[in-house]
Amino acid sequence: MATEVSLPSFHRVVIENVEPEVDGGRFAIKRVVGESVSVEADINADGHQVLDAVLCFRTVGERSWSEAAMRPIGNDRWRGVFQITELKAFVYTVKAWLDPYKTWIRDLAKKADAGQDVSLDFIAGANLAAAAATRAQTSDAQKLLELSAKMKKLARADREAALAVANSEGLAELMTRYPDRSRATTYEKELHLWVDRPKARFSSWYELFPRSCTTDAQKPGTFRDCASRLQYVAETGFDVLYLPPIHPIGRKGRKGKNNSLVVSPGDPGSPWAIGSVEGGHKAIHPALGTLEDFRQLRQKAQALGLEIAMDLAFQCAPDHPYVKEHEQWFAHRPDGSIQYAENPPKKYEDIYPLDFESTEALELCEELKSVVLYWIEQGIRIFRVDNPHTKPFGFWEWLIAEIHRTYPEVIFLAEAFTRPKVMYRLAKLGFTQSYTYFTWKNTKTEIIELFEELTQTPVREFFRMNLWPNTPDILNEYLQKGGRSAFVARLILAASLGANYGIYGPAFELFENRPLVPGSEEYLESEKYQIRVWDLDRPDSLKQLIALVNKIRRGNPALQSDWSLRFHPVDNDQLIAYSKTSEDSSNIILAVVNLDPRSTQSGWIRVPLEDFGIGPQQPFEVHDLLADTRYTWQGSRNYIELNPAKIPAHIFKVR
């Protein structure tokens, strides 16, 4: 019995190691409108013919491809770049071929320089031009045929004239415009690119409990009271106002002050225990006001340049309407009671988690999608998602894709303080931004290790960091023990290391640092369980410094993206130095922070002069934007001294 013989492939070009490519193309890379996408690939072939390649890209749903030229950058590596001008999903791939014309013109030059007979080569070139005419538009085809005929006529009659035609710019332009791609190789995958609006890359968040917008702890603040706080938030330089859940709060299992199981009359409960007889995730807590009040709050915020971000917490209080109407959406214990949330040894008796493995899971998913759509209808385009790592990956991939199909401008921030690979998976599935471990990274080594991973490895293609020095759940030991200077240092680190950052206020600017008990990261008198009255006019408030830092961020493009972040040597482990540079290199920011909140620290910083375009002996100015002082430095080695009692950092603009 004869064996079947497969014919060899004559697509001679090989395309490999395409970057960026997330998990073999399973997930999309991320960019924002206005950014570029730089794609590299290993491209090679047998023999000695000249290669050419293009980067192909199009929006999803489009049929025709746009192209950007790729150029060799050494060792068979090629690179191409295209710009993003639309808020749409894209696909991209690479195409490469052996180019007969470029091979011919290269070899013709070598033979001519060696004094060889090239008359037949002119004929071969003329034939290539005639073949290109069959691929060209009418007017260009005529020009190619004329050049072909001219070269044939001169091939044996006038070598120099024939060479002039062969080397003419006109022929080169036309032959490059209509290459022979009949045997081109196209990369086997179409890779995906998700495009977000610019705020996904650069934003400053301020978290605020509306019910604490009051001067009397016995009288909860309303949306109207919150509206009077908007000017404060805007003047402090933020552009996103994040509100914890604004829905009715459950009464069953309600927690009292400091997470106590004992509830006193008037204890408002945790906003994350969502739902009561007044309604669920599509309702507003009656004490805050009405839906119209909320709409007016959003409109006033927008007029001040603030966008409201809502909390999306898919969990229910025991008296949420879902519990009564859809008991099958919740897991049950052996005794038949509904299972409340636990993270042993922690217990959350006021919260029922949803069961995505129930027989009614599809109905549940559709309902949760309707929650997001409801708030989108009210004008919300940013959602901070509570504990997404406690829900199935498949649910988030489906939900975010469903929302983005109609509303690509929606931003989802993942609040998932969990294992790195889980955090990364959520980002791949579609979350726009993600909280990070920055909150707990306080030493120089820890900070450098974290941020080099997030900005200098393939992780950066899909994971956008959003840095928070504090949250209502997290009061880090560094802030507890470091006093005011610790808050200043962490502010400056967050705001300058990351293009996206946020603070939980007014606790932050009033440097709230009292733990519930020693060793705990819970706040004493946590705002999660009670109304707090904040004195925003305290003379020691950090609000003016925060406003200055946010002004510096807005005024310096280098601080509005993350990939240029580089750390620089300092001979003192309590000092950390790093820089960021704008895409066009016109804006350079060099930051130095004292990580010791108690003592003056000094050392010698090594400035990367070559990276900054500064000669080794050339004097240059560094303008400290925090203190508005200027220094003239010369050479790469320069002295730094920072007293935390004054201000523990420099943010230098390098001129």
| pLDDT at residue 7 is higher than 60 | no
> What is the average per-residue pLDDT within 21-45?
98
Q: Can you give the pLDDT at residue 233?
A: 98
Residue found by looking up tokens 């008296």 in the block: 319
Task: Determine whether 386 is an active site residue.
Answer: yes
Q: What is d(CA 125, CA 101) in angstroms, rounded to the nearest whole number?
A: 7
Task: Determine whether 267 is an active site residue.
Answer: no
User: How many C-beta atoms surround the C-beta of residue 136 within 10 A?
Assistant: 18
* 11 band by pLDDT with thresholds 50, 70 and 90: confident
More confident residue, 10 or 259: 259
Q: Can you give the pLDDT at residue 344?
A: 86
| pLDDT at residue 170 is higher than 60 | yes
Q: What is d(CA 525, CA 14) in angstroms, rounded to the nearest whole number?
A: 64
> What is the average per-residue pLDDT within 14-28?
98
Q: What is d(CA 383, CA 360) in angstroms, rounded to the nearest whole number?
A: 25
* 3 band by pLDDT with thresholds 50, 70 and 90: low
User: How many C-beta atoms surround the C-beta of residue 585 within 10 A?
Assistant: 12
- Do residues 35 and 20 make contact, with C-beta atoms less than 8 angstroms apart? no
Average pLDDT over the chain reads 96
* 346 band by pLDDT with thresholds 50, 70 and 90: confident
Q: What is the pLDDT of residues 596-639, one digit of tens each?
A: 999 999 999 999 999 999 999 899 999 999 999 999 999 999 99
Give the contacts of 544 (CB within 8 A, at least 6 positions apart).
Answer: none
What is the pTM assigned to this prediction? 0.94
- Do residues 630 and 647 make contact, with C-beta atoms less than 8 angstroms apart? no
Q: Can you give the pLDDT at residue 345?
A: 84
Which DSSP category does 441 fall into? Answer: -
> What is the average per-residue pLDDT within 519-523?
95
Angle between helices 393-406 and 420-429 (to 10 degrees): 30
Q: Can you give the pLDDT at residue 377?
A: 98
Domains annotated for the chain, with CATH where assigned, are 7-99+189-196 (2.60.40.10), 100-179 (1.20.58.80), 205-217+243-287+303-329+357-556 (3.20.20.80), 566-654 (2.60.40.1180)
Q: What is the pLDDT of residues 72-102, one digit of tens each?
A: 999 999 999 999 999 999 999 999 999 999 9
Amino acid at 39: V
In three state form, how does the secondary structure of 489-548 look?
A: HHHHHHHHHCCEEEEECCCCCCCCCCECCCCCCCECCCCCCCCCCCCCCCCCCCHHHHHH
* 347 band by pLDDT with thresholds 50, 70 and 90: confident
Q: Which of 180, 307, 415, 562 is catalytic?
A: 415
> What is the average per-residue pLDDT within 140-155?
95
Q: Which of 386, 527, 562, 596 is catalytic?
A: 386
| pLDDT at residue 1 is higher than 60 | no
Q: What is the pLDDT of residues 550-602, one digit of tens each?
A: 999 999 999 999 999 999 999 999 999 999 999 999 999 999 999 999 999 99
